[in-house]
Chains A and B, each alone.
Chain A
């Protein structure tokens, strides 16, 4: 008598006894809106945090990226399988010269509110996000642009500040197009509460603290490389507690969760109603140092020998094999190894060597180690493992576990000496999406090394791919040599979802729900 009941469907579970069956049958009639599932064509996905602002330029959390990719379109589409750039809202583009890009804007596309897409929308979006008043948090994604002008009824021209070969990568990811008239009318606050895009799903309700409800955009323009979404309704639910997320999945309250700890993913594999998928992502974990020593007086972290000692003190291979698992790889360079321009050839590698770490600390004048604080915002067990390794060589680190926004502010503001960072490069397959954020002199750059900044700028603006690669290799070698950060490993993601759901994961960590379907 195996049974599992909730609104509108019966599933096969394990034998639980007659009482459960009877009670289940009695209560089935009373069941509340357990809205997930195939029966009512609603895919409910859950994650732990919510974007502070739904405008994709005004949040930097992954949950925001997911919404951005399902609700908005970009000018260019990058095929996740081939890496090829395909027309999306722009039907064609040509480089007039290395700092001028002309694009033709597609006709016949409408926003969710019915406004037609025009070149003015494109120009408004890009010019608006570049103004200081817009206070966007994803500056690194747009600051290569100088200005955008409308050049005809169906064309725009983007002027770049300097040559930037990776521009097409950025135009196919974190640069969605806003409806100019609507945005001007409602302002950022209004837009955040009722966002409008051109994408496959349309947002119908934003509930602060609870989540976002979406329905299929039935007027989605035909021929989009994203295809027409197959599932009618999409719902994002914020469930802060990991165990509750798992319980919701097991009871059919939600259909899809991710970032399941590897141990629990193993357990979920035994549930016949679920599919568990493990895949490496572009996200790279790294220790970021307060290189300029703002967080404490006479900070030991200012000394490169101390930073190198920390590098040698941590057994990253053991962490990958025993703790992280699921297809993770140790990273030696400060980027994701498969990104264009990312290489560890010529980058100094630091083997796990506690004796050498102690020797380096002694040389730097800390024979007895020191006390320091370490901030983290994601997997607490990874941060605790690092603290254990540091303790073994005499560095007594104190964990300060924060929410991402507070964590980011603590690092930027020089209020913590070591941060266990992770970066998913906004899913951009170019090394500049990593190094440009953390080492090119921006607000996330805690090293501010002029030599690195100059080399990276040369790499970002070079037009010859081989020359670009050489510049990046040079910068990455210096970053590792000075140990400005300790790259740890790539992150795997464990996805667990209803067996009814056909879902494919991509390394860029963007779940494409518009491509998912019911089996």
Chain B
């Protein structure tokens, strides 16, 4: 297990390094940074002064090392647009995106896993097909449209929930459902397939032959094994939710990282884009690593 864990961690670290290089290069591909900092009216001398002041005249590799060192200390410099440090901006927006991601993932798992189990148990009945329909719909509907439909039904017509903002927990309900629904199909399909596989396996047959109650077989033997791949998938989906909530955040005016990233791209505010790419990538890498290790813990066969 230790060797496996070390190997995984090594892979994660090298991926993180690659991402940091990519993220660093992103800023330098975006044009001359000194010109960007100096502003549109600066003349040559001012730009040269800024270039020297910010160390932009040094070799790229030296600049990368300096940047990576500061990034390790969570210092990403200042935003070109807002009069603020990038770290403060990202830290202020992060909780919204994390909260939304966690609730959305919970919604997705709480609906999709039982639905997947039901579908497997009632394979090829109307219930299985209904679950399939729900999942196909989730993948086919554009999320902004689904979000607006939710607003129309639950906010405008029924007046149950607020439209936009993040002041209370109620503000997170609709966006979490809209975002979570997106992740549901994959989780449901995977649960269903896992269940089908497990239910036809030898040890379940043995358990049945022993005369165990079907409920006990389902929960204690089948579900535990069927859900292993779902854990890995959930970690990946959570990563997607953090990065992919841009549309949902815009529709519901949630001022999270997605919204900040999208607006920063439009404003050429590259230090912010760079920091968000890096932070989200690191979270993603950490999640994948955690999922791998957890899977290995649950299923000894994976440790080789």
Chain A interface (Cβ < 8 Å from any Cβ of B):
4-6, 16, 20, 23-24, 27, 30-34, 52-53, 58, 135, 188-189, 192-193, 207-210, 237-241, 243-244, 247-248, 250-251, 253, 402-403, 405-406, 409, 412-413, 443
Complex interface residues of chain B between 240 and 287 (CB less than 8 A to chain A): 250-253, 255, 259-260, 263, 266-268
B41 within 8 A of A: yes
Structural contact, B151 and A209, CB atoms closer than 8 A: no
Could you list 6 A-B pairs, sorted by A, with CB under 8 Å?
A20-B157, A32-B170, A247-B152, A247-B164, A248-B164, A405-B268
Structural contact, A247 and B253, CB atoms closer than 8 A: no
Q: Known contacts A209-B260, A239-B253; is A189 also within 8 Å of B164 by CB?
A: no
Structural contact, A208 and B92, CB atoms closer than 8 A: yes
Structural contact, A251 and B268, CB atoms closer than 8 A: no
- Across the two chains, which residue of chain B brings its CB closest to A30? B170
B229 within 8 A of A: no
Structural contact, B82 and A208, CB atoms closer than 8 A: yes
Contacts of A32 in B (CB 8 A): 162, 167-168, 170-171
Q: Known contacts A244-B163, A253-B164, A443-B41; is A210 also within 8 Å of B255 by CB?
A: yes
Contacts of B69 in A (CB 8 A): none
Contacts of A33 in B (CB 8 A): 167-168
Per the bound structure, the CA–CA distance linking A86 and B267 in Å amounts to 39
Contacts of B151 in A (CB 8 A): 243-244, 247
Q: Known contacts A135-B39, A209-B259, A239-B253; is A406 also within 8 Å of B84 by CB?
A: no
Per the bound structure, the CA–CA distance linking A124 and B81 in Å amounts to 25
Per the bound structure, the CA–CA distance linking A362 and B157 in Å amounts to 57
Contacts of A53 in B (CB 8 A): 82-83
Structural contact, B163 and A247, CB atoms closer than 8 A: yes
Least CB distance, A241 to chain B, in whole angstroms: 5
Structural contact, A253 and B81, CB atoms closer than 8 A: no
Least CB distance, A31 to chain B, in whole angstroms: 8
Structural contact, B250 and A241, CB atoms closer than 8 A: yes
Structural contact, B164 and A239, CB atoms closer than 8 A: yes
Contacts of B221 in A (CB 8 A): none
B156 within 8 A of A: yes
B4 within 8 A of A: no
Contacts of B41 in A (CB 8 A): 443
Structural contact, A52 and B81, CB atoms closer than 8 A: yes
Least CB distance, B260 to chain A, in whole angstroms: 7
Interface size class of B (residues with CB under 8 A): 35 or more
A-B contacts besides A239-B253, A244-B151, A244-B253, 6 pairs, CB < 8 Å: A20-B158, A208-B92, A241-B251, A251-B156, A251-B162, A253-B163
Select B252's contact among A24, A52, A244, beta carbons within 8 Å.
Answer: A244
In the complex, how many residue pairs between chain A and chain B have their CB atoms under 8 Å apart? Answer: 110
Select A405's contact among B155, B162, B267, beta carbons within 8 Å.
Answer: B267
Contacts of B171 in A (CB 8 A): 32
Contacts of B162 in A (CB 8 A): 32, 34, 251, 253
Per the bound structure, the CA–CA distance linking A23 and B154 in Å amounts to 11
Least CB distance, A503 to chain B, in whole angstroms: 21
Structural contact, A23 and B160, CB atoms closer than 8 A: yes
Contacts of B263 in A (CB 8 A): 240, 403
- Across the two chains, which residue of chain B brings its CB closest to A415? B31
Per the bound structure, the CA–CA distance linking A239 and B255 in Å amounts to 9
- Across the two chains, which residue of chain B brings its CB closest to A11? B159
Select A208's contact among B84, B152, B163, beta carbons within 8 Å.
Answer: B84
Contacts of B106 in A (CB 8 A): none
Contacts of A406 in B (CB 8 A): 266-268
Select the residue from B81, B84, B160, B165 with max chain A CB neighbours within 10 A.
Answer: B165
Contacts of A207 in B (CB 8 A): 255
Contacts of B89 in A (CB 8 A): 208
Closest 7 CB pairs of A and B: A209-B255, A32-B168, A403-B266, A239-B253, A247-B163, A189-B83, A248-B163
Select B159's contact among A24, A240, A403, A409, beta carbons within 8 Å.
Answer: A24
B16 within 8 A of A: no
- Across the two chains, which residue of chain A brings its CB closest to B35? A413
B40 within 8 A of A: yes
Per the bound structure, the CA–CA distance linking A34 and B253 in Å amounts to 15
Structural contact, B39 and A4, CB atoms closer than 8 A: no
Contacts of A248 in B (CB 8 A): 163-164
Least CB distance, A390 to chain B, in whole angstroms: 24
Per the bound structure, the CA–CA distance linking A208 and B253 in Å amounts to 13
Select the residue from A4, A33, A208, A409 with max chain B CB neighbours within 10 A.
Answer: A208
Contacts of A4 in B (CB 8 A): 159
B51 within 8 A of A: no
Q: Known contacts A241-B250, A402-B266, A412-B40; is A251 also within 8 Å of B163 by CB?
A: yes
- Across the two chains, which residue of chain A brings its CB closest to B152? A247
- Across the two chains, which residue of chain A brings its CB closest to B252? A244
Per the bound structure, the CA–CA distance linking A405 and B82 in Å amounts to 11
Contacts of A52 in B (CB 8 A): 81-83
Least CB distance, B226 to chain A, in whole angstroms: 37
Select the residue from B163, B168, B251 with max chain A CB neighbours within 10 A.
Answer: B163
Per the bound structure, the CA–CA distance linking A443 and B266 in Å amounts to 21
Structural contact, A6 and B152, CB atoms closer than 8 A: no
Select the residue from B81, B92, B160, B252 with max chain A CB neighbours within 10 A.
Answer: B160
Contacts of A16 in B (CB 8 A): 157-158
Structural contact, A5 and B159, CB atoms closer than 8 A: yes
Contacts of A209 in B (CB 8 A): 92-93, 255, 259-260
- Across the two chains, which residue of chain A brings its CB closest to B171? A32
